[in-house]
């Protein structure tokens, strides 16, 4: 990204917050009866326990309470939408398999044919249809449903949503039932009633990408429920992957990319009765699915390292290290001789060219192992790789990769993990990502008129034996767009999980608590056992901390704020700020104290040039050298000009939305649990 200057002097008038909690009677509109994601007011810990089973009952059931809060970005509310999407995708009639996605616009393109079955709603030739539909596709159980399975544990923790708990339990039982009794490997079974799963004659099979995703999902559910059955399954999978699927060489290990099936994704499938067709080591990073070895191998090592950190499983740590030594081989990383730039040896610095999703997956896994093994060199390697990744496209707002809804979520996860590990301080990046692309690509009720209009008067979708047109738009709410042209055209279980994971990663990082000290890293709304955070941004420069158990708070002030303008009050008492870098230190807190931190909010303008990008079929179609003018209020993008060429709807509603100088207030149900997840 080439920069054309930062923070211009052309600013709109400064707004200084003066509103106090409860002083405004302007509440958000009443809940709609046809909005199943809304809290009903009847959720209680008892109802959570009664509606769950051991497979999905939280180990620690939180509490619910009503609150009046600013009507600003609330990631827990976004998580409620996410739960709506994923539970709506579960089809009880099809054995609790999830639909591939909801298609507010259908785009027929016959690109897959298995056993005579043709999928009519996948591809890149777009055509609006009425009514919209959702269907199954071959990749759902392979790796995508485990992604949805993982993020559902995260978003239950965030929101306390009780929507679809019965369907969730059925889905978890079904997924656990696909694990091999002897080896624990996640097998796709032979099922003639589901021709979209793949070729009958080669099943059951184990998909490498799916092993890593299922491992991560089970690690999340083990922590969430505390059910020892999950631990037994994970330990068995670690052993099975180590003995059966992985090829060991010297001090490293890898998964082959030469299976018996030649289709793009099936090349990395291990056939249960035939094994690998060829166990040769991949020669370069471009030889895997979607042109990336990392894309299908990048998750297993990280899941193994996390499992070791949680349980001390030494076999998991050993295998993780072997896989990481494979992932960090110089042949897989960019070299300046191949067209990078003079004077830098790319493989030493995790420079790369190609598939953003795969490389970020691999960097996350390498970091997980580096933390588990306390390998400082690998931590620096991942930092360099992240710094390299954030240079592309318009990464300032999290618009990276190919413009899908999942790229930003992955980048948020890497940035948060690096910051947790003390490798860098990326809270400013994370704040910019989550306030912009990290939520902009999620379908919300505000999008309903837009997506209805796209399909009005269009032909009905083509016949699809796996499709349904019932409740599609409601099911879309909470999903993430898997395409950017036209913007918000459809969801998929490829992109929606990672977009929603981005919500969790940022939410998890908003506040951290240890030894009586609450560290507030992001000025976003958040309920917690230690203190509640009410954020008035971007309308007003104000955040209110409602203390519960903290004796001290450290509050990070964003880079765009002039620190000498910050004011702090505990109740009606003015407090002189004490600073640790960008953190405002507030000591001697007592339960029940209310802390208000205020500062001016000004608009600023930045100019960035969108570069052309090519490679692996992932093209960000910016017109060459287009200079974009970005207008921010705080870290929230409120206008981009010219509109992004491939997605003019993107950010188009924000200028009007954020015109007000004061935040509206709303009533909400907050959920708080002391439980945390290691991810």
Whether the model clears a pTM of 0.75, i.e. scores above it, the answer is yes
Residue 323 and residue 304 in contact, taking contact as beta carbons nearer than 8 Å: yes
Residue 660 CA to residue 666 CA, distance in Å, equals 15
Backbone dihedral angles phi then psi of residue 671, each to the nearest 5 degrees: -125, 135
Instruction: Give the pLDDT band (50/70/90) at residue 137.
Output: confident
> Of the candidates 40, 39, 102, which has an alpha carbon nearest to the alpha carbon of residue 471?
102
What are φ and ψ of residue 531, in 5° steps?
-165, 155
pLDDT of 115 above 70: no
Helices (H), 456-510: 472-476, 495-510
> How far is C-alpha 85 from the chain's CA centre?
14
Residue 484 has pLDDT above 80, yes or no: no
Q: How confident is the model at residue 2 (pLDDT cuts 50, 70, 90)?
A: very low
Cα separation, 2 vs 626, in Å, equals 10
| pLDDT band (50, 70, 90) for residue 342 | confident
**Contact status, residue 394 vs residue 628, Cβ threshold 8 Å:** yes
Task: Calculate the CA dihedral of residues 629, 633, 639, 642 and round it to 10 degrees.
Answer: 0
Averaged confidence pLDDT in the chain? 87
For CA atoms 542, 81, 646, 653, give the dihedral sign: negative
**Pick the residue with more confidence: 465 or 450?**
450
C-beta of residue 288 within 8 angstroms of C-beta of residue 297: yes
What's the whole-number mean pLDDT along residues 222-247? 98
What pLDDT is attached to residue 351?
94
Residue 229, CA distances (Å) to 153, 154, 177, 233 in order = 16, 19, 12, 6
Of residues 8 and 487, more confidently modeled: 487
**pLDDT beyond 70 at 196:** yes
Is residue 554 scored above 70 in pLDDT?
A: yes
- Name which of 128-142, 331-345, 556-570, 614-628 the model is least confident about: 614-628
Q: pLDDT of 358-399, one tens digit each?
A: 999 999 999 999 999 999 999 999 999 999 999 878 899 999
Pairwise CA distance, residues 444 & 537, whole Å: 20
CA 232 to chain centre: 27
Q: Is the pLDDT of residue 12 over 70?
A: no
CB 523 within 8 A of CB 558: yes
Return d(Cα 604, Cα 450) in angstroms, integer. Answer: 29
* Range in 50-59, 115-124, 543-552 the model is least confident about: 115-124
Q: Where are the beta strands (DSSP E) in 539-664?
A: 542-547, 552-556, 567-570, 573-575, 578-580, 583-586, 594-598, 603-610, 626-633, 636-641
Closest C-alpha among 272, 279, 377 to residue 328:
377
Cβ neighbours, 10 Å, residue 382: 27
β-strand 101-103 against 113-114: which pairing, if any?
Answer: unpaired
CB atoms < 10 A from the CB of 207, how many?
26
pLDDT surpasses 60 at 619? no
* DSSP secondary structure of 609-640: EEPP--STT----PPTTEEEEEEEETTEEEEE
């Amino acid at each position: 990204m080439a920069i054309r200057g930062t923070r211009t002097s052309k600013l709109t008038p400064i707004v200084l917050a003066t509103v106090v909690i409860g002083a405004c009677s302007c509440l958000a509109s009443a809940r709609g009866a046809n909005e199943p994601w809304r809290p009903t007011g009847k959720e209680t810990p008892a109802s959570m326990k009664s509606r769950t089973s051991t497979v999905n009952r939280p180990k620690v059931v939180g509490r619910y309470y009503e609150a009046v809060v600013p009507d600003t970005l609330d990631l827990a509310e976004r998580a409620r939408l996410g739960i709506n999407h994923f539970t709506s995708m579960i089809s009880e009639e099809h054995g609790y398999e999830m639909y591939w996605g909801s298609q507010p616009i259908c785009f027929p393109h016959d690109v897959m044919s298995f056993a005579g079955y043709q999928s009519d709603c996948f591809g890149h030739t777009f055509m609006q249809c009425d009514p919209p539909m959702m269907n199954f596709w071959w990749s759902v159980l392979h790796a995508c449903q485990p992604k949805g399975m993982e993020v559902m544990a995260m978003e239950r923790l965030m929101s306390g949503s009780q929507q679809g708990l019965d369907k969730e339990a059925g889905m978890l039982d079904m997924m656990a039932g696909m694990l091999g009794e002897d080896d624990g490997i996640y097998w796709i079974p032979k099922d003639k009633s589901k021709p979209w799963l793949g070729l009958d004659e080669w099943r059951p099979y184990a998909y490498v990408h799916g092993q890593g995703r299922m491992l991560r999902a089970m690690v999340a559910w083990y922590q969430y429920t505390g059910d020892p059955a999950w631990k037994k399954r994970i330990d068995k999978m670690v052993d099975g992957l180590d003995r059966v699927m992985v090829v060991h060489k010297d001090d490293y290990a890898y998964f082959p990319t030469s299976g018996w099936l030649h289709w793009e994704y099936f090349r990395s499938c291990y056939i249960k009765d035939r094994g690998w067709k060829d166990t040769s080591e991949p020669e370069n990073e471009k030889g895997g699915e979607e042109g990336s070895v990392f894309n299908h191998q990048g998750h297993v090592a990280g899941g193994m390292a996390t499992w070791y950190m949680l349980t001390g499983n030494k076999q998991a740590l050993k295998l993780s290290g072997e896989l990481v030594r494979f992932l960090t081989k110089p042949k897989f990383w960019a070299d300046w001789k191949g067209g990078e730039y003079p004077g830098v040896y790319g493989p030493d610095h995790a420079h790369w060219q190609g598939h953003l999703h795969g490389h970020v997956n691999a960097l996350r896994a390498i970091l997980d192992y580096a933390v588990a093994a306390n390998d400082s060199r690998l931590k620096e390697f991942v930092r360099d790789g992240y710094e390299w990744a954030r240079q592309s496209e318009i990464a300032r707002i999290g618009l990276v990769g190919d413009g899908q809804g999942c790229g930003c979520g992955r980048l948020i996860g890497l940035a948060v993990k690096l910051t947790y590990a003390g490798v860098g301080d990326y809270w400013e990046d994370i704040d910019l990502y989550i306030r912009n692309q990290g939520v902009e690509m999620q379908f919300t009720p505000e999008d309903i008129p837009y997506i209805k209009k796209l399909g009005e008067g269009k032909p009905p979708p083509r016949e699809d034996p796996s499709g349904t047109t019932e409740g599609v738009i409601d099911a879309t709410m909470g999903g993430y767009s898997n395409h950017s042209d036209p913007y918000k055209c459809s969801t998929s279980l490829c992109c929606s999980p990672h977009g929603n994971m981005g919500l969790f990663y940022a939410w998890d990082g908003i506040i951290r608590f240890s030894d009586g000290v609450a560290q507030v890293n992001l000025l976003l709304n958040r309920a917690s056992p230690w203190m509640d955070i009410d954020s008035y941004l971007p309308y007003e420069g104000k955040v209110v901390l409602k203390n519960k158990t903290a004796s001290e708070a450290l509050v990070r002030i964003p880079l765009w704020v002039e620190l000498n303008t910050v004011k702090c009050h505990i109740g009606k008492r003015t407090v002189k700020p004490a600073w640790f870098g960008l953190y405002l230190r507030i000591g001697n807190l007592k339960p029940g104290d209310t802390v208000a931190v205020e500062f001016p909010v000004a608009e600023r303008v930045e100019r960035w040039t969108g570069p052309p990008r090519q490679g692996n079929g992932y093209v960000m179609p910016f017109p060459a050298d287009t200079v974009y003018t970005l207008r921010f209020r705080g870290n929230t993008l409120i206008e981009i000009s010219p509109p992004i060429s491939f997605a003019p709807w993107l950010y188009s509603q924000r200028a009007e939305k954020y015109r007000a100088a004061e935040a509206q207030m709303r009533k909400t149900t907050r959920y708080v649990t002391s439980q945390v997840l290691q991810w």
